[in-house]
Amino acid sequence: MSVLTAENIGITFSQRSHPILENINLNLTSGSITVILGESGCGKTTLLNILAGFQKPTNGVIKLNNVPLHGPDETRAVVFQEHALFPWLNVEENIAFSLEIKKVPKALIASQVERILKIVGLSHAAQLNIWELSGGMKQRVGIARALISTAEFILLDEPFAALDAFTRENMQKLVLDLWIEENRSFFLITHDIEEALLLSEQLIIMQANPGRISQRLELNFSKRYRNGENIRSIKSDPEFIELREKLFAQLSHNIEEGYNA
């Protein structure tokens, strides 16, 4: 089992006097699903960039199985909020791109792409151009590109922010299905309290100025989905609603405190 660890992560940007992140400690184990929830500007994307190896922290270290990591590598793949797809390539070419670069044999690429298209429900759209896709389909291509890699850790930065409520719930279902079927670790940033509650085994709540972890919750709503309960039934459960309202009140209090600071 692999573990990606953030140890005492802090970062201060040179043009700012105060730290953006301070003393962040995290453990992501393979097969787990972790969600980060926090107000705008508390440093969620910065933390994801540090975990991905795109950004170097000022303090602390990212480790994989206790070995320090010093940049991006094949163990971590990122799905961005903006789909970051290549508009001049069609759906299957976008998904195949990273394998083409590595000069993987054509037949192997074709079978991998076919497998991943099936997993994300896009087999019918393999030949479509990117501009012919809906927002949800584009985000499926983004996820497919991460899944075709061998990355054990899939890091998703607010992947569904731009989607309507129905498509969003469809995508939440896709993430849960992938988590159940693929033995990988998912780390997802969201602003959406319902999404955070539904998708996380480990829910990390962050506060701003400096960005820090204010709370960690172990939740079982995702496990209830794994055990066969449907998403609407979970989201309308009184326990879910009570926790949603509690977190809403808590986060709005944090934001008001931030305004008054």
* 198-227 residues near ligand ATP, rule: CB under 6 A: none
* 43-62 residues near ligand ATP, rule: CB under 6 A: 43-46
Shortest separation between residue 13's beta carbon and ligand ATP, angstroms: 4
Distance (Å) of CA 110 to CA 97, 100, 133: 11, 10, 21
Distance (Å) of CA 5 to CA 11, 23, 64, 206: 16, 13, 6, 17
Shortest separation between residue 208's beta carbon and ligand ATP, angstroms: 7
Shortest separation between residue 86's beta carbon and ligand ATP, angstroms: 24
Q: Give the CA dihedral 22, 27, 33, 35, nearest 10 degrees.
A: -10
Tell me if the bond preceding 238 is cis, omega within 30° of 0.
no
Mark 24-43 with x for binding to ligand ATP (rule: CB under 6 A) and - for no binding. Answer: --------------x-xxxx
Mark 1-20 with x for binding to ligand ATP (rule: CB under 6 A) and - for no binding. Answer: ------------x-xx---x
**78-89 core/surface letters (b: 16 or more CB in 10 A; e: else):** bbbbebebeeee
Nearer to ligand ATP, 44 or 184 (CB): 44
Nearer to ligand ATP, 38 or 57 (CB): 38
Nearer to ligand ATP, 46 or 94 (CB): 46
Shortest separation between residue 15's beta carbon and ligand ATP, angstroms: 6
Nearer to ligand ATP, 43 or 136 (CB): 43
Contact call for residues 83 and 139 (beta carbons, < 8 A): yes
Nearer to ligand ATP, 37 or 95 (CB): 37
End-to-end CA distance of the chain: 43
The strand pair at 3-11 and 185-190 is best described as unpaired
Shortest separation between residue 188's beta carbon and ligand ATP, angstroms: 12
Q: Which has the closest alpha carbon to 95: 119, 74, 126, 72? A: 126
Q: What pairs with residue 38 in β-bridges?
A: 206
Nearer to ligand ATP, 15 or 260 (CB): 15
Nearer to ligand ATP, 38 or 159 (CB): 38
Shortest separation between residue 202's beta carbon and ligand ATP, angstroms: 18
Q: By CB under 6 A, is residue 260 in contact with ligand ATP?
A: no
Give CB contacts under 8 A, 24+ apart, made by 164-168: 164/135, 167/134, 167/135, 167/136, 168/192, 168/195
Q: How many residues line the site for ligand ATP (CB under 6 A)?
A: 12
CA Rg value for the chain: 19
Helices 135-147 + 106-119 axis angle, to 10: 130
Binding interface with ligand ATP (CB under 6 A)? 13, 15-16, 20, 38, 40-46
